[in-house]
Structure 1
Amino acid sequence: MSQSDVIDLQSLQTMAKVFGSLLYFPLTDSNNQTLIKALSEDEALENSDIQAWCKTALTELPEALNQDFFLLFEGGEVMLAPPWGSVYTDKEEVIFGDSTVAYRQFLREYGIELDTGMREPEDQIGLMLFAVSQLIEQQQDVETVKTLLTEHLLTWCYRYFELVQQHAQTQSYKQLAGLVSLWCEVVQDVLDITPNAVKLYR
């Protein structure tokens, strides 16, 4: 792995962990609140889109953010933007579909454990970003990271972000989806990735 790869991967690891947290835990979670405040005060991010988003996230009402989190990530009667990959890639639009099983095997192969204490699909968007971060933390070869992105995450995540932008009730979640989608595009470009062509059912 070259030094330039290391530098790029260090940045990728950090942002994957940040976005993973923001897309797995509620924005009102105390750790996320601490993270958002730290990002908003980071001089290196001055005048960036991320800092503009932080201002939005810190000013919207906690009740509105919690309601949006429930609708987007936990689900009422209808989930308008399900955060699990197999809902998009499985013809029956189910969780724990074939793509989840394939992704689980990939994680096992590289010793990645995402024990959340709940029986939940590993292909939840935030958990997948945590896995990207963990692979880099383990100093896996960049090709391993590219495989996760090419075969498992980038195949469906752009459609997911579109749906979040369409259906989120708060600006915080609408803008966050746009930010992470743009970041994924940059990562795809920097790592020269062409995601596998997968038929999507959502």
Structure 2
Amino acid sequence: MTTELNTSAKPGELSSLSYSFSLSDWNSVGLLLRDFYMFSQRETLIHSVNKLEEHCGAHITFPASFADADWQDAEYDFNRLFVGPQALLAPPYASVYIEKEPQLMGNSTQEIRELLHALGLSSRNENQIPDDHVSYEIELCLLLINHIPRQHVYEEALAWLVGDHMSRWLPKFIVRIEHGAQTPLLFAISKVLSLWFDDLRRRIS
């Protein structure tokens, strides 16, 4: 992987980062990001972070070491941003950023569900977790880009998903993370997500 890195960015600013992942690395990082943003227990968080550092640690600053207390702080920060129980600082749902009035299960959520169903797919925990959760959309990108050689419909679906949908909300989501994160780890992972998505947009442009 090659990179140009602007290290002058501060929390709350989107830095000028540029990666060119191999397709294999791009897939691997995407799967790890999917798991990270949908993690349900600390072991998954730790595994995802360690693997993401293997892929991107030479170019993005991760915390040097982690004790149990550091993982507790990261887990608390994760919950503040994405889970609750307090008002979320960076809700991981597209509809919050796309709808005129921030809400869950808005029209944009229904658009993703209709796209999934048109492709013969459905999200895990349908009707429990909104279909436009960032982890589901990352996974859909991975599926579509790896099926493009087989059917033109996948290429059309990916172009809409990235160009007309995710580009409208994912950069805002990343900014919300960078403004709200209290731990270097959550800030670092937001940079990985930004690099991964920018590389995706270059791939389909």
Q: Please say whether Structure 1 and Structure 2 have the same fold, judged by a TM-score greater than 0.5.
A: yes
- The yes-or-no answer on 1:161 pairing with 2:174 is yes
Match of 1:22 among 25, 36, 60: 36
- Determine what percentage of the aligned residue pairs are the same residue: 22
Q: Which runs of 5+ in 2 are unaligned?
A: 1-20
Aligned-partner SS, 2:168: coil
Decide whether the 8 Å contact of 1:87 with 1:93 is kept in 2: yes
1:68 corresponds in structure 2 to: 77
Post-superposition offset of 1:47: 2.2
State the number of aligned residues.
180
Query: Structure 1: how far apart are the matches of 2:45 and 2:121?
Result: 23
1:200 corresponds in structure 2 to: none
Aligned-partner SS, 2:116: helix
AA at the equivalent of 2:58: N
Match of 2:184 among 171, 177, 184: 171
Instruction: Summarize the Cα distance change of 1:30–1:129 in structure 2 as closer, same or farther, 3 Å threshold.
Output: same
Instruction: Summarize the Cα distance change of 1:184–1:56 in structure 2 as closer, same or farther, 3 Å threshold.
Output: farther
AA at the equivalent of 1:112: L
Q: 1:93-112 residue pairs with structure 2 within 5 A? A: 93-112=102-121
TM-score (norm 1): 0.75
1:77 corresponds in structure 2 to: 86
Decide whether the 8 Å contact of 1:13 with 1:132 is kept in 2: no
TM-score (norm 2): 0.74
Decide whether the 8 Å contact of 2:177 with 2:190 is kept in 1: yes
Query: Structure 1: how far apart are the matches of 2:48 and 2:132?
Result: 23
Aligned-partner SS, 1:155: helix
